[in-house]
Amino acid sequence: MPQQAAVQIRHLTKAIGKKTIVDDLSFDIPEGEVFGFLGPNGAGKTTTIRMMVGLITKTRGKVFVYGTDVDKDFRAAMNRVGAIVENPELYKFLTGYQNLKHFARMSTGVGEERIREVVKLVGLEQRIHDKVKTYSLGMRQRLGLAQALLRKPDVLILDEPTNGLDPAGIRELRDHLRTLAKRDGVAVIVSSHLLSEMELMCDRVAIIQSGKLVDVRTIRNGLGADEDTEQTTEIQVDDGEAAVAVIRADHAGVSAQLQESAVVVSVTRDKVPEIVRSLVVAGIKIYAVNSVNKSLEDTFLEITGGGSIGV
Ligand SMILES: Nc1ncnc2c1ncn2[C@@H]1O[C@H](COP(=O)(O)OP(=O)(O)OP(=O)(O)O)[C@@H](O)[C@H]1O
Ligand SMILES: [Mg+2]
């Protein structure tokens, strides 16, 4: 079943002076997907997002939100979009609640109840009546997210949303974004320079380097890699040596190695159940099977040269 593209980006380009900061980006983001922009500092993630939401002009290219050309009907398109771009715009001398109230007044159909709902969602109940100037960075991020969610957007765009959040906050955000996508069909676009974070959060990731789209990767269940790519899989067993012997005997050509209490094999996805089955048949107890995805990391590091800042 084809999913409707919530956002379409075509040949999006930004040049400042002689420098092309964002260079001919094209891709579609369907509804219900968490899509990541992944790239090192200076790759052009924020610039791309700023163009998408009309904060800066495009040099070239088009952005469509559910088929509406952002240049032709900006209001209609942006009505469906909630966004936080870098530092959310907040009034520091008002309380969190007053900020949300102010924002709600500018939108139709957002009442007290919805405000309470989003405050709860982002976990700010305790501090919502304090002035924003007393908030920590993570609290400001949470308030920004609450603001972006107020109007129940169909498209949610968040630039570095985990910036400043503590581990519990990152996890909550991740769960929350995934729920919004999977339950409500929201198209969620997030940016980050952290691969590990994107792997856990996203369905697909666009790798951006020096303004160019290098690759779009599908990440399955946070495990990554394509069907025919070998993945490192770690199997926790009660008897590692016996397990290695079984794998070597039953699966010629598969390399199995013992690492502490786990057997590590490098195989394609479809081989994993076969290996698990032969271990079970041999009476070996299996405590866990973990996929250790190296391929996306390898790609990312290859592309970005180990994290150096793009020029
Ligand atoms: N107004 C501007 N004038 C000149 N250059 C700019 C301007 N805005 C951004 N740039 C340059 O464009 C490039 C991309 O910047 P951008 O902020 O989009 O990167 P980013 O991927 O968001 O990086 P980070 O991970 O650090 O947030 C950088 O080299 C930056 O210096
Ligand atoms: Mg940025």
Looking at the structure, do residues 235 and 213 belong to the same domain, yes or no?
Answer: no
Domain boundary among 169, 187, 218: 218
- Residue 261's pLDDT is 77
Q: How many Å apart are CA 290 and CA 19, to the nearest integer?
A: 44
Residue 300 maps to a domain? no
Looking at the structure, do residues 166 and 245 belong to the same domain, yes or no?
Answer: no
Q: From the CA of 292, how far away is ligand 2's center (Å)?
A: 28
Q: From the CA of 302, how far away is ligand 1's center (Å)?
A: 21
Protein residue with least CA distance to atom 10, ligand 1: 21
Q: Which ligand is nearest to the CA of 211?
A: 1
Domain boundary among 168, 192, 218: 218
Q: Tell me the CA distances in angstroms from 184 to 156, 169, 180, one per residue in order.
A: 12, 21, 5
Tens digits of residue pLDDT in 154-182: 999 999 998 888 888 888 889 889 999 99
Structural domain harbouring 122: 5-218
- Number of residues assigned to the chain: 311
Residue 275 maps to a domain? yes
Looking at the structure, do residues 75 and 123 belong to the same domain, yes or no?
Answer: yes
Residue 136 maps to a domain? yes
Protein residue with least CA distance to atom 28, ligand 1: 42
Which numbered atom of ligand 1 lies nearest the CA of 48? 18
Confidence of residue 309 (pLDDT cuts 50, 70, 90): very low
How many other CB atoms sit within 10 Å of the CB of residue 202? 27
Residue 282 has pLDDT above 70, yes or no: yes
Domain boundary among 187, 218, 249: 218
Domains held by the chain: number = 2
Looking at the structure, do residues 65 and 207 belong to the same domain, yes or no?
Answer: yes
Q: Is 210 left (phi over 0), alpha (psi -120 to 50) or beta?
A: left
How many other CB atoms sit within 10 Å of the CB of residue 307? 11
Residue 190 has pLDDT above 60, yes or no: yes
Residue 224 has pLDDT above 50, yes or no: no
C-alpha closest to that of 270 among 291, 255, 284: 291
- Residue 21's pLDDT is 96
Q: For ligand 1, is residue 99 a contact (CB within 6 Å)? A: no
Q: For ligand 1, is residue 26 a contact (CB within 6 Å)? A: no
Which mutation among 21, 22, 86, 304 tests ligand 1's pocket best, with the greatest number of atoms within 8 A of CB?
21
Count Cα atoms within 13 angstroms, Cβ side, for 260. 3
Burial of 116 (0-12, 13-18, 19+ CB in 10 A): middle
